[in-house]
Every structure is written in C-alpha cells, then in structure tokens.
C-alpha cells in the first residue's frame, strides 16, 4: 500500500522542479561568463543534460509515495511521477538531438536550453497540479517558453511566422480556457479538483448548464494544446516553421502535458458526470483522427506530414479518454511513452538528413536513402512502422491497448473507426519507406556526420521502440500502477 501523507509545506516535494530551475539559470550564467573564443559552447548541452538526469533521479525517489504538499496544491503520486519521467525523457532526448542542430543553425544560445528546462517545469506542474490554478500556471509556463523557442531562429521568416501564429492562437485559446475555469469556479465555488468532485457528487449527478459551458470551454483550451481536430489549424505551419529539434519537443511534450491535465481534470473533477462529456470527446476523437490522417496523405514536406500524423495520434489518445476506465489511463500512459520514442527518433533522423537552414525536408529528399545510408533508412523505417502501428513495435502495443480499453467500456464503433484510421495511416508512412527503398536518389547525399549526441538519441529511441513493442509487460505494469486514484 502506498503511504499517504498530507503536508502543508514540503519544499522537498518540488525538488526536481527546483533542480531544473537551478540548472536553467546556471546555463544562462555560464553562457554569459564564457568568453567568445570558447566557440562551440558544448558545455551548455552537457550542463542542461546533467540537470535533467539529476531531476529524473530525484523524482524516481518518490516512487510509491502519495503526497500532497503546498497546502494541497501539489500532488505527488505514481501518475504524476510517470508523467515527470516522460517529460524529463522528452527534454533529455531533445537536448541530445539539439546539440549539433543548434550549432549548425547558429542558435546555440544558453537561452535555448534554459527555455527547454523551464517549459519542462511547466509540464511537471500541469501533471502535478491539484487545482485549476496550478494547472493554468503550468500550462502558461510551458506555452510561453515554447512560443519563444519556436521563434528562436529570428533571422528566418518561417520561424517568425510560426512563432506569431502559435502565439496568437495560443493566447486566444488561453482566453477560452480561462473562461472555462471561471465558469467552473462560479458553478461550484472552488478551483480545487477534489472539491469540485465533492461538490458535484453532493448534487447527485444533476448538471448545471454553467458547469457544462465551463467544461466545454476547458475542452477548447486544452484541445488546442494537444492539437485536436477543430483546433488544429496552427499545427502544420508551426511544426514546419519551428527549428526541427523544437518541433520534436513540442510534438511530444505539450501533448503529453495536455493529456496529463486533461485526465486529471476530467477524471477527478468531472468523473461523476462522465456521460455529459463523453459524447463531445467522442466526436473530437473521430474528427481528430480522420482529419489528421486524411490530410497527411497529400503532404510533401516531411515535417508537415509528421505534424498531421501527430494530430492523428492525439485522436487515438482521445479514444482512451472517452473510454474512461482504469485500463484506458494506463493505455494513455503507455502510448505517450511509445509516441515519445518513435516521434523523437523520427525527428532525429529528419535532422540528420536535412542540411543547413533546414533544407532538404521534402519526402522526395528521402528517396534512395536506403542505398546511401542503409542503417539510417532502417531506423527511420522502424519509427514509421511504429507510428503506423505495425507489430512488433511500440506503436502496435500502444494502439492495441487503447482500442481494447475502448471495447472494454463498450465503445466498439469508436474502436472500429480507430482501426480504419490506422489502416489509412499506413499509406502515408509507407510512402516515405517506399521512397527510401524503391526509388533512386534524387540528390547528392552528403557524407554522414553523426555526432555522438544524436547517435545516442537515436539508439535510445530504437531501443525504446523495440523494447516496448516486444516486451511491453514491464512498462505496462508500471503504467497500471500509475493510474489515477479516481476517488
């Protein structure tokens, strides 16, 4: 049994956050103090990587404890620790794939790493926040850091544009989220998730229209962050314009954090009125999957294709949200971990293939890759097959658990639509594979310069994808132990 304790104020409980913040500031200071002749500034990446690793070890120490600190504002349970692990892994892998990329693109500032660490703090706060205020602040720390990271390549117009689009639409959606929170607060008189649940339970399942409107607006606000369908218009442009390493980061991190908050709000606070929100999410899930997959079919740019595929993946995750049983929570946790490995792996290969100023990003630029760099082609194929959900990869196991959780709760039609969608998805993932293996090279491939950093990132991603695909039992067991304590 996990030992439960309530502490009013426990600074140790946010130790991983403090470590990340401290290392973030240290990176800034070291960057300023280092003289210009130190040139490459490799130590920035080392330093931030050390911070992430220390934070991961510290958060591992909390395993098994359930703890509310800061007057009940911050929760530590296995659920939030699982998400902390996902976020820290995401930040670590992003730093690994960034190191040479930022040097190539001339954006090797200390601020780059600092903002990655800070946005990870925001994500951790979103997964651990026990009231709507902390979730909101976490979401803003994460989003504002990423607005800046997207526009980091200031001299390139696509980066500026992506940053502006993401910022304007993000701030717009923040307005909706905030209004939703206000209405929920007004209807229930509290912003604490548990108190909201207690209040709704006290009313015996009758639903206030004001509360319903608030729930709808919260869905709009978070639906934007996880890139679900009617609110997805920004995704392809922003993913294309952002520096590729940041695209990898924002395809995984904010999505995982958005789902962490989504699950916490809708399972804990609105758990009793499941029948009122399941239909909305049902429609969102179908729309998201279908839009993502259909439009991905006609893309020619690899980053845009991966953007639409990330929309489709949000759709699959929403299926599990509709199902709303314990199995679906562990399915979402497992799928997010699998998605982390395969997505960052794929973007790492894209970074290796592309050249300075993010050129060579068309799908046709991948043709003939198998003849020139067979190992890279094999790795890319593995990641794409995993995204398509073909066994024996992580993506297959993840999709399997998501669909079976939907069937378990009786959403057979939704599961069938999900399966049809994953069949459609196979086409566009295969297009890249076909280009790599069946067509001759359309351009000169540069001799490969695989730095140890990105090499390690790709190896970790490959191991993760295969490990989760062939031996899912261990991770699945951890995921099952990390489900939300619903009541």
Partner 1 sequence: MEPYLFYVMAATSVVAALYLIFEKNPVFCALYLVFSFINIAVLYVLLEAQFIAAVQVIVYTGAIMVLFLFVIMLLMVDVKKKQKDDLPFQRIPAMVMGFVLLVVMGLAIKSKLFQGREGEYTSAKVESIGHTQLIGKLLFTDYLLPFEMTSILLFVAVIGAIILAKRKV
Partner 2 sequence: MITLTHYLVLSAILFSIGVVGVLIRRNAIVIFMCIELMLNAVNLSFVAFAHYLHSMEGQMFVFFSMTVAAAEATVGLAIIIAIFRNKETVNVDDMNIMKW
**Interacting partner of 74 out of partner 2, partner 1, none (Cβ under 5 to 8 A depending on kind):** partner 1
Considering only the stretches 51-59, 143-151, 299-307, 456-464, report the one whose residues sit in contact with partner 1 under the rule CB under 8 A.
143-151
Compute the Cα dihedral for 32, 34, 38, 44 and give only its sign: negative
* Footprint (CB under 8 A) of partner 1, residues 118-137: 118, 121-122, 125, 133-134, 137
How is the chain split among helix, strand and coil, in percent rounded to 5? 75, 5, 20
Which of 7, 15, 213, 378: binder of partner 1 (CB under 8 A)? 213
Instruction: Give residue for tokens 């190191």.
Output: 99
Show contacts of 30-38: CB within 8 Å, 24+ apart.
Answer: 30/110, 31/109, 31/110, 31/111, 32/110
Residue 172 as a binder of partner 1 (CB under 8 A): the answer is: no
Q: Would you give the DSSP letter of residue 269?
A: I
Q: Which is nearer to partner 1, 208 or 237 (CB)?
A: 208
Considering only the stretches 4-12, 230-238, 324-332, 341-349, report the one whose residues sit in contact with partner 2 under the rule CB under 8 A.
230-238
Q: In this structure, are residues 11 and 70 in contact, taking their beta carbons and an 8 Å threshold? A: no
Residue 147 as a binder of partner 1 (CB under 8 A): the answer is: yes
**Contacts of 269 by beta carbon, 8 Å cutoff, 6+ apart:** 184, 193, 194, 196, 197, 200
The number of CA neighbours under 13 Å toward the Cβ of 5 is 9
Which of 76, 141, 289, 363: binder of partner 1 (CB under 8 A)? 141
Residue 212 as a binder of partner 1 (CB under 8 A): the answer is: yes
Residue 147 as a binder of partner 2 (CB under 8 A): the answer is: yes
Compute CA 112 distance to the chain's CA centroid, rounded to the nearest angstrom. Answer: 18
Class of residue 36 by CB neighbours under 10 A (exposed 0-12, middle 13-18, buried 19+)? exposed
**Contacts of 225 by beta carbon, 8 Å cutoff, 6+ apart:** 139, 143, 170, 173, 254, 255, 257, 258
**Site size with partner 2, rule: CB under 8 A:** 39
Q: Dihedrals φ, ψ of 389, to 5°?
A: 85, 40
Which of 18, 30, 54, 133: binder of partner 2 (CB under 8 A)? 133
Q: Which is nearer to partner 2, 139 or 318 (CB)?
A: 139
Q: Which residues bind partner 1 (CB under 8 A)?
A: 9, 14, 21, 28, 70-71, 73-74, 109, 111, 114-115, 118, 121-122, 125, 133-134, 137-138, 140-141, 144-145, 147-148, 151-152, 154, 163, 183, 185-190, 195, 199, 203, 206, 208-213
Q: Which residues bind partner 2 (CB under 8 A)?
A: 133, 136-137, 140, 144, 147-148, 151, 154-155, 157-158, 160-165, 167-168, 171-172, 174-175, 178-179, 181-183, 185-186, 189-191, 233, 236-237, 240-241
């Amino acid at each position: 049994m996990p030992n439960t304790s309530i502490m009013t104020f426990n600074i140790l409980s946010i130790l991983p956050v403090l470590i990340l913040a401290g290392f973030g500031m240290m990176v800034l200071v070291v960057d300023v103090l280092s003289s210009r002749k130190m040139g490459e500034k490799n130590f920035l990446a080392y330093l931030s990587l050390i911070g992430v690793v220390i934070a991961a070890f510290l958060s591992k120490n909390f395993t098994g404890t359930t703890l509310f600190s800061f007057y009940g504002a911050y929760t530590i349970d296995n659920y939030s620790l699982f998400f902390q692990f996902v976020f820290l892994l995401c930040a670590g892998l992003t730093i690994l794939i960034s190191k040479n990329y930022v040097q190539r693109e001339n954006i090797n500032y200390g601020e780059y790493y600092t903002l990655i660490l800070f946005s990870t703090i925001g994500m951790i706060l979103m997964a651990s926040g026990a009231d709507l205020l902390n979730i909101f602040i976490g979401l803003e720390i994460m989003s504002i850091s990423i607005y800046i990271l997207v526009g980091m390549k200031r001299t390139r117009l696509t980066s500026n544009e992506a940053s502006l689009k993401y910022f304007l639409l993000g701030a717009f959606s923040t307005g909706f989220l905030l209004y939703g929170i206000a209405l929920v607060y007004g209807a229930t008189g509290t912003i604490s998730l548990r108190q909201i649940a207690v209040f709704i339970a006290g009313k015996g399942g009758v639903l206030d229209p004001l509360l319903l409107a608030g729930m709808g607006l919260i869905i709009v606000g978070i639906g934007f962050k996880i890139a679900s369908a009617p609110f997805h218009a920004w995704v392809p442009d922003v993913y294309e314009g952002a520096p590729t390493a940041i695209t990898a980061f924002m395809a995984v991190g904010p999505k995982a954090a958005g789902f962490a908050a989504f699950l916490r709000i809708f399972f804990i606070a609105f758990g009793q009125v499941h029948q009122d929100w399941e239909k909305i999410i049902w429609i969102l899930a179908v729309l998201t999957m279908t839009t993502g997959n259909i439009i991905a079919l006609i893309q020619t740019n690899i980053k845009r294709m991966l953007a639409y595929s990330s929309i489709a993946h949000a759709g699959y995750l929403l299926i599990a949200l509709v199902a709303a049983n314990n199995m679906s929570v562990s399915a979402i946790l497992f799928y997010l971990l699998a998605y982390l490995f395969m997505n960052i792996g794929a973007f790492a290969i894209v970074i290796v293939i592309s050249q300075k100023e993010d050129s060579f990003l068309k799908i046709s630029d991948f043709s003939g890759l198998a003849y020139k760099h067979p190992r890279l082609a094999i790795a890319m194929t593995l990641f794409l097959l995993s995204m398509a959900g073909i066994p024996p990869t992580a993506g297959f196991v993840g999709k399997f658990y998501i669909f079976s959780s939907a069937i378990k709760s009786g959403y057979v039609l939704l599961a069938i639509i999900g399966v049809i969608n994953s069949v459609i998805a196979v086409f566009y993932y295969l297009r890249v594979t076909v280009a790599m293996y069946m067509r001759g090279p359309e351009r000169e491939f540069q001799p490969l310069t695989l730095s140890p950093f990105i090499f390690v990132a790709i190896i970790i991603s490959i191991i993760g994808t295969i490990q989760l695909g062939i031996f899912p039992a261990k991770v699945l067991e951890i995921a099952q132990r990390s489900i939300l304590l619903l009541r």
